[in-house]
Amino acid sequence: MITLFTFGPAFGLPDASPFVIKAEMLLKLSGLPYQTKRGNVRRAPKGKLPYLDDMGRQVADSTLIRWHIEKTYHIDFDEGLSPAERGAAWAVEKLLEDNLYWAVARVRWLEGDNFERGPAQFFNVVPGPLRGMVKALVKRRVRQMLWAQGLGRHRVDDMTAMAVQGVQAIVDILGDKPYLMGDRPCGADATLFAFAASLQSPVFETPIRAAAESHASLQAYLARMKARFYPDFVGGGVFAPDFAADLAPVAAQAGARAAAPLA
């Protein structure tokens, strides 16, 4: 059986990392039997999570996990999509993973109140006399990574504006469709759901979260995906018990608009 190594639930989400949620979503979409297990980045093949073990073969990185599933089990997550649609889906994934991810990481790790409500909890296992120093070292490392990536060279309001524009672009591509590229989920839906749900974690206060929450079509999409793929997980934000109920009228309206051309 496939074993997916994860961080575990945090911040009201099935996992602290959107990349882990993406990998699990791909396994759910594949229909393959699998199990999850808490991982350790020190033992991970590339020093990060997620990674999976498939009958002794270890595969690290969520995109490489997708390719492994597709090649090994002859699954095409984008079956039925045209070349242009496949390209658009891939572009959405890279926007989420290589741009929005870093904007959200900055909010979580470098903004005082958000850090204390979220990542600071990871350091509770560090002995008290060392905790402050370790926190400072890790935050400095995150700041260096953001600078190297490029986003961290901008002013905060410029970084936020870029992220909000990214959310708007995704919403525009989604439109009134049930799923990103049409009537059924494709591979990029694993990424969109994972990252959109993560940036709406109720633990963190950010204009990016507010921008995402302002789009009814995105909220209806998240409710639809949660109900289909995570019906039993109870957390916060998208995974709160009343999330789908509160959005039922919105989801119904969006579904009616999506079905209108087919009538």
Average pLDDT over residues 22-39: 97
Average pLDDT over residues 203-221: 96
Does one domain contain both 28 and 152?
A: no
Predicted confidence band at 245 (pLDDT cuts at 50, 70, 90)?
Answer: low
Length of the chain: 263
Range of the domain at 35: 2-73
Pairing of strands 57-60, 51-54: antiparallel
Q: Does the residue 110 lie in any domain?
A: yes
Does one domain contain both 62 and 107?
A: no
Token code pair at residue 13: 């989400």
Does one domain contain both 89 and 119?
A: yes
Does one domain contain both 143 and 60?
A: no
Phi-psi region of 11 (alpha: psi -120 to 50; beta: other; left: phi over 0): left
Exposure string of 123-162, with b = 16+ CB inside 10 Å and e = fewer, is eeeeeeeeeeeebeeeeeebeeebeeeebbeeeeeebbeb
CATH code, 207: 1.20.1050
142, 149 Cβ separation under 8 angstroms: no
Q: Check whether 108 has a pLDDT greater than 70.
A: yes
Does one domain contain both 101 and 37?
A: no
Does one domain contain both 125 and 210?
A: yes
pLDDT digits (tens, 9 = 90+) for 112-122: 899 999 999 88
134, 120 Cβ separation under 8 angstroms: no
Does one domain contain both 210 and 89?
A: yes
Cα–Cα dist 59/54, whole Å: 8
Q: Among 214, 213, 223, 216, which residue's Cα sits nearest to residue 243?
A: 223
255, 247 Cβ separation under 8 angstroms: no
Biggest CA–CA distance in the chain, Å, is: 67
Does one domain contain both 105 and 173?
A: yes
Does one domain contain both 108 and 64?
A: no
Does one domain contain both 34 and 95?
A: no
Token code pair at residue 242: 């009343």
Does one domain contain both 69 and 92?
A: no
- How are strands ordered across the β-sheet holding 2-6? 34-38, 2-6, 51-54, 57-60
Cα–Cα dist 88/1, whole Å: 33
* Residue carrying structure tokens 């109920």: 245
Q: Does the residue 64 lie in any domain?
A: yes
Predicted confidence band at 71 (pLDDT cuts at 50, 70, 90)?
Answer: very high
Could you say which DSSP state residue 97 is in?
I
Does one domain contain both 199 and 96?
A: yes
pTM of the predicted protein model: 0.90
Cα–Cα dist 160/145, whole Å: 17
Domain count, the chain: 2
Cα–Cα dist 98/117, whole Å: 24
